[in-house]
Amino acid sequence: MRILFVGDVFGSPGRRIVREHIGHVLDSQNVDLVVMNAENAAGGFGVTPAISDELFDLGVHVLTTGNHVWDKKELIEYLQSAAADSHERPRRIIRPANYVAGTPGYGFYEGALPNGQAYAVINLQGRVFMHSSDDPFRVADALLKQIKAKVILVDLHAEATSEKIAMGWYLDGRVTAVLGTHTHVPTADERVLPGGTAYQTDVGMSGPYDSVIGVEKELVLARFLTGMPGKFEPARGDARMSAALIECDGGTGRAYSVQRIQLGE
Ligand SMILES: [Fe+2]
């Protein structure tokens, strides 16, 4: 079984480059399952129902998010419209599972491909240098007790490399992949851990690289140089799609390989 995980889609340049490349990657690599982090897909801040439809139309099965999940109010209502046992599109957009109990939406999705292959996707958020949330390690333990699928992909949306690597080791042998998102910079440390879990600290942004992590570099520089507030705008140039391609055993969920992918214009 082959899984494509696409890193943080950032604004319209990110959506455009993903649209340009995803079709030929899915065909040439015989991809079965597609998961994408979409928390910055709407102009760099959040995702709307209309934009999520655009991404689902590309063949995506599950959209993950992170700290920007609440940026667009219409998404909150959209997430609340889905019943826990639904398989419709709003239920296939997930937010970090370790948010406070009662938060809109769901932190994981469990489904099956048309051929019957079961899979699950878990979204978690780190706690180091981020807003406070529940313990992602204990929340992962609790979710793994209730998930029946063997093929399980974890998107850990986190700032610190140490926290992400620690989660990789913690879940090694218990999930198919632990993939980091949020920093927007792909790391060159993809590997399969000894227990059979594919791991990469950060898959990287699918968006404009002529930028500071997606934002117009002049605006970010001005913030660093003056400390003055100012509105951040998404950059436009040098769009690239960053992704990880994982091959695993559909029966056991054990990963065989993980490959880093980056495709430009
Ligand atoms: Fe983020």
Catalytic: 182? no
Contact by Cβ (8 Å): 58, 17: no
- Is the pTM above the cut of 0.85? yes
Residue 200's Cβ-count burial label (10 Å; 0-12, 13-18, 19+) is: buried
Q: How many angstroms from the chain centroid is the CA of residue 152?
A: 13
Which tokens in the block code for residue 94?
């997930």
Q: Catalytic one among 68, 157, 182, 184?
A: 68
Residue 55 is predicted with a pLDDT of: 98
Q: Rounded to the nearest whole angstrom, what is the distance from the C-alpha of residue 115 to the centroid of ligand 1?
A: 33
Secondary structure class of 54 (helix, strand, coil): helix
Q: Rounded to the nearest whole angstrom, what is the distance from the C-alpha of residue 252 to the centroid of ligand 1?
A: 31
pLDDT averaged over consecutive 10-residue blocks of the chain (265 residues)? 98 98 97 98 96 98 97 96 96 98 96 97 98 97 98 98 98 98 98 98 98 96 94 95 98 98 96
Strand pairing of 198-200 and 191-192? Answer: antiparallel
Q: Rounded to the nearest whole angstrom, what is the distance from the C-alpha of residue 79 to the centroid of ligand 1?
A: 18
Which residue, among 204, 134, 133, 200, has the nearest Cα to 167 in the 3D structure?
200
Residue 230 is predicted with a pLDDT of: 87
Which residue, among 191, 199, 124, 122, has the nearest Cα to 156 in the 3D structure?
124
| Interatomic CA distance for residues 17 and 242, integer angstroms | 10
Residue 132 is predicted with a pLDDT of: 93
Q: Rounded to the nearest whole angstrom, what is the distance from the C-alpha of residue 159 to the centroid of ligand 1?
A: 8
Secondary structure class of 39 (helix, strand, coil): coil
Beta bridge mates, 119: 111, 151
